[in-house]
Amino acid sequence: MSDPAFEPNTPNVEVDPLTFLPPDEPVHLVDADGTYHEDPEHPLDLTDEQLRELYRLMMVTRKVDREAINLQRQGQLGVYASCMGQEAAQVGSAYALGTDDWIFPSYRELGAALVRQVDAAGLLHLYRGTWLSDHDPYKHNFALMSIPIGTQALHATGFAMGARFDGNPIVAMTYFGDGGTSEGDPHEAMTFAGVMRSPVIFFVQNNQYAISVPLAKQTAAPTLAHKAIGYGLPGRRCDGNDVLATYAVTKRAVERARAGAGPTFIEAMTYRMEAHTTSDDPSRYRTKEELEAAALTDPIARMRNFLTKRDLYDGELETAIDEQAKATATHVRAGIYDAPHGDPMELFEHVYTDPAGHFEDQVAQLRAELDGASAAEGEA
């Protein structure tokens, strides 16, 4: 028998939680042949110029991505994680943010970085190993690429908590993948974000594989977006190869967060058309037929078809974009090819703002080793 005076704690839910469940079908606005479907919930609020820009950003992303793979094959990068096939997911979502908003990426977010005008050559220093990163996060509101899976979701959440405490109407968006939804940190991040009503967006690129492990072995959830309701977040889904859908769904999440209504989880259905990284051999776990089928969903061809149908695409635009993509790729190649590492003494420079007492003897040791090496070189 229950005590009538006892009322158990209940979470603070002001809306019907069932609205947090993802819709049956992912939001999809453009077919592979470019046919556009009106969706009153996701009106097209982009100018012709912006539509072209989305296409241009995806094209540049693909070109730079290909250049990075080439650089790796030429021994210029130790490894590279391609985002080929995921351009619409990244570009559309990043494009929905305001310039003061922040992005907390994983290591596969070249497309999002290019939207943020991060120098792609700089990003690749991580893969070349000249340094662990090479961009100032505060200049682009683009955090360092995070390699441990899903850990960046917490940084985005903390950052967004800070913005809320500060009365600053910015939004933080973090990217992780289908594999990342199995790690603990994204779940802790969603728990915190839900409780704290942090203006954060969890953007999951479901590219079907965590290296070789397919989604079916990653989760038994009906969809990844169903996970959100457990944390009091709306779970949304979109066609991740439809740049207008990824843009529109993210835009709504941004507006929701900025209005103080809290975080959103978005699952973008996409496909990793390349290997996990250049060190991977996907022929061991997926078939040629599967790849051929996936190629039919290519996000870039789809957007080109859409623009063509609207008379927004012609030879002139094609040439202009081609030239820009090539120029960016050339810039990346010039910045990376045979790029030297810096002064080895820099190893000690950024470990502490106040390094006193930590490794003075080791600083002296390396300096002596370097002096010895250069003296030996002089003698030879």
Residues that bind other proteins (CB under 8 A): 104, 131-134, 136-138, 143-144, 146, 148, 151, 153-163, 165-166, 172, 184-185, 188-189, 191-192, 195, 346, 349-354, 356-358
For residues 272 and 209, the answer to whether their CB atoms sit within 8 Å is yes
**What's the rounded Cα separation, in Å, for the pair 302 and 305?**
5
Min CB(150)–other proteins separation in Å: 10
**Closest among 1, 107, 91 to 50, alpha carbons compared:** 91
Q: Which two tokens stand for residue 68?
A: 């990075």
Question: Which residue, 64 or 190, has its beta carbon nearer to other proteins?
Answer: 190
**Closest among 50, 271, 264, 287 to 173, alpha carbons compared:** 264
Angle, CA of 71, 292 and 62, to the nearest 5°: 35
For residues 261 and 199, the answer to whether their CB atoms sit within 8 Å is no
Question: Which residue, 36 or 348, has its beta carbon nearer to other proteins?
Answer: 348
Residues 6+ apart with CB under 8 A from 347: 366
Q: Which value, to the nearest 10 degrees, does the dihedral of the CA atoms of residues 18, 20, 21, 26 take?
A: 140
Q: Rg of the Cα trace of the chain? A: 23
Going by their DSSP bridges, the two strands 213-214 and 209-210 should be labelled as antiparallel
> Cβ–Cβ contacts within 10 Å for residue 294, how many?
18
Question: Which residue, 73 or 350, has its beta carbon nearer to other proteins?
Answer: 350
Q: Which two tokens stand for residue 92?
A: 């559309």
**What's the rounded Cα separation, in Å, for the pair 352 and 298?**
46
**What's the rounded Cα separation, in Å, for the pair 116 and 173?**
13
Min CB(91)–other proteins separation in Å: 24
Min CB(266)–other proteins separation in Å: 19
Question: Which residue, 135 or 304, has its beta carbon nearer to other proteins?
Answer: 135
Question: Which residue, 139 or 217, has its beta carbon nearer to other proteins?
Answer: 139
Beta bridge partners of 173: 103, 201
Q: What are the residue numbers of the active site?
A: 272, 276, 285
Question: Which residue, 88 or 120, has its beta carbon nearer to other proteins?
Answer: 120
Question: Which residue, 57 or 160, has its beta carbon nearer to other proteins?
Answer: 160
**What's the rounded Cα separation, in Å, for the pair 368 and 28?**
62
Min CB(139)–other proteins separation in Å: 9
Distances in Å between the Cα of 94 and the Cα atoms of 149, 326, 329 are 20, 22, 21
- Axis crossing angle, helix 152-165 with helix 184-196, rounded to the nearest 10: 10
Identity of the amino acid at 186: P
